[in-house]
Amino acid sequence: MLSAARTLPQRAVRRYTVVASAAAAAAPTATLAVRVHGGARYADKDGLAHLLSRFNFQSTGDKSALRLVRESELLGGALRSSVDREYITLQATFLKESLPYYVNAIASVLYKTSFKPHELVESVGPAAAYDLAVATSDPVKVAEDALYAATYRSAGLGRPVLFDGVEQVTLDDIKQYANKVYTQENIEIFATGVEERDLKRFVGESLINTLPKGSAIKEAAAPKAFAGEVRVRAHGPNVAAVAIPAESAAQIPELQVLKAYLASPLYANADALERVAFDSFSGTHGLLSMYVKGADASAVSANIKKVVADLKAGLDIAPAKELAQVDAALAAQQSAVPVEQLALDKVAKFKLGKFAYSAVGDVTQLPYRDEL
């Protein structure tokens, strides 16, 4: 059912990576994703990557934004550009026969976006403001940003992902950043539901092949992690969150299993946790985060104290190994980009070491890090 993604032999000739997996070959739809190492951690200014991501699928040299969207609608496809700390991802979902159209559409976005000044004001700015409004209305999202800031401070990963206007970003900054990250060495192309041969051919004929040469700006070394604390006073539900950094590749499987364990009924206090997430970066470092959310600040304090006490006492997480594997397989099946396979042999017991803490909401009532 699930065929592993393969790397093409042509890789030496064409610098960018092209990976196709023919999973779900019978389905009529296909997904094409271009992943660019250009997320928030690589941008010199806060929010620059977010604005660039929102500039994707705007007017290009040959097509206006409106025409691109309308044509894509008529073909029955959808275009999406998203940003996170590591990547800017351009994704298209479409009927298989329109593969060449979407390869060319994404190629011209990477190569020929016009960056018109009025688009920044009229469409990109409001769209970015909308993203920020959605994110700030969710206290869990605010707590997540606070955890990253507490763990990594202002180095790369600690920077905010979304543009908030605190730091001024001009159109020239965005253009320069696009030239820096949209290079052959810095992009990876993934597709599901298409023939590998077809994909290679269409990509080879498209503008992606003539993207300028640059250098891969992928950051593989784990940044220094701090055991910090951030408290954000806000209206709405209270959130207390704990983050555990993985500072080496060896810690990643352990935290993956811990994530599966905490989210499953295997863990006695699983109901107390609103969300458990693990983000892995370059396969060498990552951050596990868990969130306790509630309207009642005293219940939130009690729950976060209980969870941290459990983690400090040590948990036998070995029973969740298979669960973690199933989670990974499921994630691999649902996403266009390959998910790293886990080596879970050595995972047995987890004991809390370094952790960062963030509290959002009525912070007078919520505990401090050293009270946990």
Partner 1 sequence: MPQSFTSIAKVGEYILKSPALSKICVPVAQKYVNLAGYRKLGLTFNDLIAEENPIVQTALSRLPEDESYARNYRIIRAHQTELTHHLLSKNEWVKAKDDVPYLMPYILEAEAAAKEKEELDNLEVVKK
Q: Which residues bind partner 1 (CB under 8 A)?
A: 64, 66-67, 70, 74, 117-118
Calculate the dihedral angle through the C-alpha atoms of 49, 248, 337, 65, rounding to the nearest 10 degrees.
Answer: 0
CB of 118 to partner 1, least distance (A): 4
Nearer to partner 1, 63 or 369 (CB): 63
Instruction: Please identify, using beta-carbon distances, which residue of 68 and 304 lies nearer to partner 1.
Output: 68
d(CA 82, CA 337): 13
Task: Name the residue with tokens 């950043």.
Answer: 177
Cα–Cα distance, 16 to 211 (Å, whole number):
10
- Which is closer to partner 1, CB of 123 or CB of 282? 123
79: three-class secondary structure by DSSP: strand
**Shortest distance in whole angstroms from residue 113 CB to partner 1:** 16
- Closest approach, Cβ 115 to partner 1, in A, equals 14
DSSP state of 5: P
Closer Cβ to partner 1, 121 or 155, answer by number: 121
> Toward partner 1, which CB reaches closer, 4 or 121?
121
Closest contact distance (angstroms) between CB of 116 and partner 1 is: 8
* CA angle, 270 then 272 then 273, to 5°: 70
- The residue type found at 218 is K
> CA angle 187-128-149, nearest 5°?
75
Torsion, Cα 156 159 160 163, to 10 degrees, reads -80
Structure tokens at 218: 């992928």
Phi, psi dihedral angles at 152 (to 5 degrees):
-105, 0
12 token code pair: 């030496």
- Which residue in 141, 155, 150 sits closest to 277, CA to CA? 141
Of 64 and 179, the one with the shorter C-beta distance to partner 1 is 64
d(CA 106, CA 299): 48
Q: Identify which of residues 123 and 284 has a Cβ nearer to partner 1 in the complex.
A: 123
CB of residue 122 vs partner 1: minimum separation in angstroms?
Answer: 8
Minimum distance from residue 121 beta carbon to partner 1 (Å)? 8
Shortest distance in whole angstroms from residue 62 CB to partner 1? 13
Pair 168, 197: CB distance under 8 Å: no
Helix axes 139-152, 125-136, angle to 10 degrees: 90
CB of 250 vs partner 1, minimal distance in Å: 55
Nearer to partner 1, 99 or 255 (CB): 99
* Rg (the chain; Cα; Å): 22
